[in-house]
Amino acid sequence: MAANARLKSFSMRDFFDRERNLGIMLFMAYPFFLGIWLSLTDSMIGRAGQFIGLRNFVDLLTDTIFHQTAKNTFIYALVTVPFKAMLGLGLALILNRHMRFSSPVRAAVMMPWIVPTALSSLGWFMIFDPVFSPISWLFRNMGLISKNINFLGDPILAISSVCWANIWRGVPFFGITILAGLQSVPQELHEAAAIDGASVWHRFRHVTIPSIKGVVLIASLLSIIWTFADFQLIYILTKGGPANETHIFGTYTYQIGLQATEIGMGAAISLYMFPILAVFAILLLIYLRKEQ
């Protein structure tokens, strides 16, 4: 009890003073408020702007490229999630089995997730190349196509290709997270169900699925938040092209804010992400609370 009381009365200021953690918060918060301020001005890079109220935000509502950007971002972040989750679940179920060389296999399947995305995207950049694509070569040699596929040059193919690369990168994350969930299922539960005569499918449906539901939901929300705000994969594969058909918020912000130097407008584009990210972050928080 005495120790407990001391635990409570101990002031942490000795080694972790408020100023320091305030400092960290400020380093995040200051750019955020600066971003809000910039978005309310017509600033250009190197020229401080005038306060123009919400005009940037209003102008974006009638910008067709911005519409396309918003649509792409939803496809890129949301439509890919079920694919990542299903493929990840399959991967986790396989990794959960007893097998030889399980450590190297786990390390190998993690590669798409841990290797620098900018560099692995270069691999995809060549795989999707109009001249050097091995996929085109394969299909051509099988007689399926007569001309190389222009993966990144056609609007529909381009968004599909970047989504494909995005799914490829996300599957290991889902796989390893779901695997962690699977391993926390008590083995007795499976055994008890088996003794009671539950079939493999029933055990999967009523023991495995309920116990990993939470993990899958958390992984999905995290994945949505990260992919929603992605940049590098699209920047390297298409730079938002062809004809702005694959822009997402990150790349469009970069193009307007830095390349076209309209930093005020760029800040407005990125701030449109904020309420959407906030919704997903709140959902995640609510769910994490419930899990605890």
Partner 1 sequence: MVGSDVFRAKFFSLYLPLTLYLVFLLFPFYWMLIVSFKPTNDLFDMKFSPFWIQQFTLENYLYLFQNTDFITWLKNTLIVSIVSTILSLVCSIFIGYALARLRFPGSNFLGLGIFLAYLVPPTLLFLPLAQVISELGLNNTYWALILTYPTQLIPFASWLLMGYFRTIPKEIEESAMADGCSRIQILFRMVLPLSVPGLLSAGIFCFTLCWNEFLYALIFMSSGSMKTIPVGTVSDLIKADTLFWGALMASAVLGSFPIAFIYSFFVKHYVSGLTAGAVKG
Instruction: Check binding of 134 to partner 1 (CB under 8 A).
Output: yes
Of 214, 113, 118, 116, residue with least CA distance to 171:
113
Which residues ranging from 136 to 175 are in contact with partner 1 (CB under 8 A)?
137, 168, 171-172
Indicate whether 263 belongs to the interface with partner 1 (CB under 8 A): yes
How far is 251 from 268, CA to CA, in rounded Å?
Answer: 13
Q: How far is the CB of 44 from partner 1 (least distance, A)?
A: 11
Cβ proximity to partner 1, 106 vs 190, nearer residue: 106
Evaluate whether 50 touches 41 at the Cβ level (below 8 Å). yes
Distance CA 43, CA 174 (A): 41
In sequence order, what are the residues at sequence separation of 6 or more whose Cβ sits closer than 8 angstroms to the Cβ of residue 199? none
Residue 187: count other Cβ atoms within 10 Å of its Cβ. 8
Tell me which of 150, 160, 211, 232 binds partner 1, using CB under 8 A. Answer: 232
Nearest to 217 by CA among 89, 100, 91: 89
Among 185, 229, 241, 283, binds partner 1 (CB under 8 A): 229
- Nearest distance from residue 282's CB to partner 1, in Å? 10
Size of the site for partner 1 (CB under 8 A): 93
Contact with partner 1 (CB under 8 A): which of 158, 174, 228, 255? Answer: 228
If one asks whether residue 4 binds partner 1 (CB under 8 A), the answer comes out as: yes
Q: Which of positions 82-121 make contact with partner 1 (CB under 8 A)?
A: 90-91, 94, 97, 99, 103-112, 114-120
Helices within 198-261 (DSSP H only): 200-203, 209-228, 232-237, 249-254
Using CB under 8 A as the binding rule, whether residue 66 contacts partner 1 is answered as no
How far is 161 from 243, CA to CA, in rounded Å?
A: 16
Site string for partner 1, 190-219 (x = CB under 8 A): -------------------------x--x-
